[in-house]
A and B are shown apart, each in its own frame.
Chain A
Amino acid sequence: MMNSLTLSHVTKRYDGVTALDAVGFTVAPGERVALLGHNGAGKSTLMKIILGLIPATSGQIEVLGAAPGSPSAREGTAYLPENVAFHPALTGLEQIRLYLRLRGCDPAQAMDLLSRVGLDDAARRRIGTYSKGMRQRVGLAQALIGQPRLLILDEPTSGLDPVSRREFYAILDSLAAEGAAILLSSHALTEVEARTDRIVILSQGRLMANDSLSALRRRAALPIRLQVSARPGAADRVAAQLSGGRRNGVMVDLTCAHDEKLTRLGDIAAIQDLIDDVEIIPPSLEDLYSHFSRRDDQ
């Protein structure tokens, strides 16, 4: 299957500063890829290069089988810029009608698009009266125009409340199910965790990781935490038996490598009379993220 987006050795230099250094990855149709990185890691620059808004210094980029910014690439690509704010004097409905006309679509679809992002009640109010989250939804509504085959979303859920985020990812899931490729950047790692198929980590313009979450977990081999709750009064004995650290009156904390997990669980099972419960806590995406984005500095 042909990839919706192919990047290889993409490099961008601005007067002596290397913003992107030989970045390469692909996004296949129906795939949801999260682009993670600190502020200034090069996420927005990379997105603008993919959209053809700024040229790359070197490297190859193929967007829907065409050059970035070419008519056929623009035709099938939707973009949501970071912190987009529309003209305050227009209503949401007027703004979406404009974008529909620019894509050559029927402006009458505007109301449907706005109700899809939950803005039907505010559609006829001026954007100047909208909250940040509502403006973000206008941005999302325009990104849904004309069944895009590639979506480039820069911090799409910033300013959205938890319920809206959930609705937003539900919309993305249905787009991906219809075959759209999605590349989104985010700071909210926990929401990306469950909602994307692959994770790309950029640090100082370099690609540090590009894999599924479970593969990244295996590669990072970060310690797993076992949280053991002892029965009343048994915490000291449990801590001594398992040579773990006592946290409070009942909890004992253990850490172990991925391949020691079963052995440790066996140890715990051996003294089960003393134990009330066991919780296995895998490394979080935050842990993985700092592992992969810091690896270079060492």
Chain B
Amino acid sequence: MTALLRPVAALGATEFRIALRNRWVTITVALMALFALVLSAAGSAPTGDVGVDALSVTVASLTSLGVYLVPLMALLMAFDAVAGEVERGTLSLTLTYPVSRSGILLGKFAAHLAVLTIAVGVGYGLAAITALATDPEAVTGLPALLRLFWSSILLGAVFLALGYALSSIARRPGTAAGLAIGVWLALVVLYDLGLLAAVVADGGGVFTSRALPWLLLANPADAFRLYNLAASEATAAASGLGGAAQTIPAAHALISVLLWPLAAFGLAAAALRRVTP
């Protein structure tokens, strides 16, 4: 292993062990499994009416769930990453070892992303099994589920990195936790409410036709939702949002989904660079 990756691997393995001990792995896996099973059970009922397979219905529900749950889990895992190390005095110690700051960040990122991948994989996997067991047509929904899976990981990556940035700025775990909840509320809940209010006030004017699509793409959570709904007709139909999703091409949403993790990680690295240990 190269000298650059060795410390990243060591830090990542340690961070994953901490996540296991802190029950983060258990909590996130249980949470995702529970919600996925509940949604699958609820989704298997109205299949006949919409005319799409059971899995596409479930994917539509999982998209709405994932957009709330994945960012929340990511932020909760990430907020302590830098602030906790500053408080314990271990950040200054680790920085005297032959490790770079971005190496430290990368190690934590790899471990937390692995935890999220396991949780999302278990949850979505259970949903697929349930759908396939009740509806043989569900196979047609598998590509949509796979798309949902990797885009959920990317969404998680964005909010992990945002969590590290907040953790570096706050420098105290308590403050970082508060900021993390604030960012979750702002980007996942309030942002959409704000846009909705603006659309209503605008009454179908310039804002709705020109600014709204870009504002939706600018938010990683909205881009994630748009991409998953726009990329599959069956999912869009099942969600009942076909019209809204089609105004923005899936390719645009995909670009936002792919660029956000890089931008957020860059932000986190810049924020950590400014921390005086």
Contact = CB atoms under 8 A, between A and B. Distances in A.
Interface residues of A, number: 31
A215 interface: no
Interface in B58-102: 84, 88-90, 92-99
Interface stretch (B14-22, B181-189, B205-213, B244-252): B14-22
Given A83-B89, A89-B22, A104-B3, A51 B96 contact: yes
Contacts of A139: 93
Given A89-B18, A94-B17, A79 B96 contact: yes
Given A83-B89, A85-B89, A77 B96 contact: yes
- Chain B's interface size range is 20 to 34
Given A102-B94, A103-B98, A81 B18 contact: no
A102 B88 contact: no
Given A74-B97, A101-B10, A87 B90 contact: yes
Contacts, number: 75
A81 B93 contact: yes
Contact of B6 (A77, A83, A101): A101
Contacts of B95: 51, 53
Given A53-B277, A104-B98, A98 B11 contact: yes
B7 interface: yes
A248 B268 CA distance: 70
B100 to A, nearest CB: 10
Given A54-B276, A89-B22, A98-B11, A103 B97 contact: yes
27 contacts: A48-B92, A53-B95, A53-B96, A53-B276, A54-B276, A75-B98, A79-B92, A80-B93, A81-B89, A81-B93, A82-B89, A83-B89, A84-B90, A85-B90, A87-B84, A87-B90, A89-B17, A89-B22, A90-B21, A94-B14, A94-B17, A98-B11, A101-B6, A102-B10, A102-B98, A104-B3, A139-B93
Interface of B: 3, 6-7, 9-11, 14, 17-18, 21-22, 84, 88-90, 92-99, 276-277
> Which 3 A/B pairs are nearest by Cβ-Cβ distance?
A101-B10, A89-B21, A79-B96
